[in-house]
Amino acid sequence: MACRIISGPEVSGEIYAELRERIEKLKSEGTTPGLAVILVGDDPASQVYVRNKGRKCEELGMHSETIVLPKETTEEELLARIDALNKDPSIHGFLVQLPLPKHIDEDKVIEAIDPSKDVDGFHPVNVGRMLIGKPGFLPATPAGVQQMLVRSGVETAGKHVVIVGRSNIVGKPMAALMVQRGFGADSTVTVVHSKTRDLPSITRQADILIVAIGKPRFVTADMVKEGAVVIDVGTNRIDDPTHPKGSRLVGDVDFDNVKDKVSAITPVPGGVGPMTICMLMANAVKAAEDAAKSR
Ligand code: NDP
């Protein structure tokens, strides 16, 4: 079977082109969308994510602020920074890069963010709005997966979507999105996880299989149905002495073998990865549009 590769750079490129137009329009009306990111501590992976977000803002002509705080920052100090951003009219959306140092309560931090500026979509108000199908900020990775399906013409209505993984940032919101009424959703959804019995018998029923567990090449060809669509969210670094860096990225799906059996698949890298930052930017532009409307 000829397998289609669903490309993250291609789909995100299409969305960025639309965002550029919306940003131009906002600017011509006197609003420059502003995104701020707070980073606490010196986790190297977080530093890379935060740098990439700032760069993308610049590329798109958005205003960007990065607030780097030492790892000893107290919860009170961080909450004060959040309060200041909540009140800052030049910042339409912001996020606190996770994970946070152990002495800071993540839930308290997320709940301190004004839901109308919560571009990560992690505030319980936005999570609740998503669940009941009301407008709000959608979490970037699941929203990005949905865009990949929609923009590559994958029919979702009436299809059995099986989601492997039930984290609060990928699996659970992914299920909430796909079960909604409407275009790009209307699916029959099953969520499986580490306590699921006979997981392969369920993944084999999937018309669309979305995998987010963080286990390199966990999903093998015998676990997927012929002709299924497979979306691999997993991002795992594995040792590879043949690679110049000594390691490389692989997904949660055994891409080389699964691709010969399915109708479409996302690669790693080059699949879901680039969608996350793209959907974050889309949320920031939406936040600026909402703020401009309510002025
Ligand atoms: P978490 O570790 O928070 O959750 C993993 C989930 O997978 C849990 O629900 C867990 O089940 C389930 N799981 C683990 N092992 C198994 C197993 N053997 N069988 C069935 N289920 C299992 O991970 P995240 O959701 O945060 O991330 C998942 C992957 O996606 C990671 O590789 C991460 O790097 C990647 N990721 C990529 C992004 C991107 O490309 N932009 C963004 C976010 C994540 P249980 O709940 O029972 O423990």
Give the global pTM. 0.97
Q: What is the per-residue pLDDT for 295?
A: 79
Tell the residue nearest (CA) to atom 48 of ligand 1. 194
119 lines ligand 1 (CB under 6 A): no
State in Å: Cα 190 to ligand 1 middle.
Answer: 16
Q: Which parts of the chain have pLDDT scores under 50?
A: none
pLDDT in tens, 36-48: 999 999 999 999 9
pLDDT in tens, 112-145: 999 999 999 999 999 999 999 999 999 999 999 9
Task: Tell me the best of 168, 193, 211 to mutate to test the pocket of ligand 1, counting ligand atoms within 8 Å of each CB and taking the most.
Answer: 193
State in Å: Cα 252 to ligand 1 middle.
Answer: 9
173 lines ligand 1 (CB under 6 A): no
Q: What is the per-residue pLDDT for 1?
A: 67
In a domain, 8, yes or no: no
In a domain, 164, yes or no: yes
257 lines ligand 1 (CB under 6 A): no
State in Å: Cα 168 to ligand 1 middle.
Answer: 10
In a domain, 13, yes or no: no
Q: Of 114, 132, 157, at which residue does a domain stop?
A: 114
220 lies in the same domain as 267: yes
Looking up residue 103, the CATH number of its domain turns out to be 3.40.50.10860
Is residue 281 packed enough to be buried (19+ CB in 10 Å), middle (13-18) or exposed (0-12)?
A: buried
- Residues of the domain holding 104: 30-114
Q: What is the per-residue pLDDT for 191?
A: 99
User: Which residues are catalytically annotated?
Assistant: 53, 97, 120
187 lies in the same domain as 258: yes
In a domain, 158, yes or no: yes
143 lines ligand 1 (CB under 6 A): no
Q: What is the per-residue pLDDT for 241?
A: 94
266 lies in the same domain as 144: yes
Looking up residue 266, the CATH number of its domain turns out to be 3.40.50.720
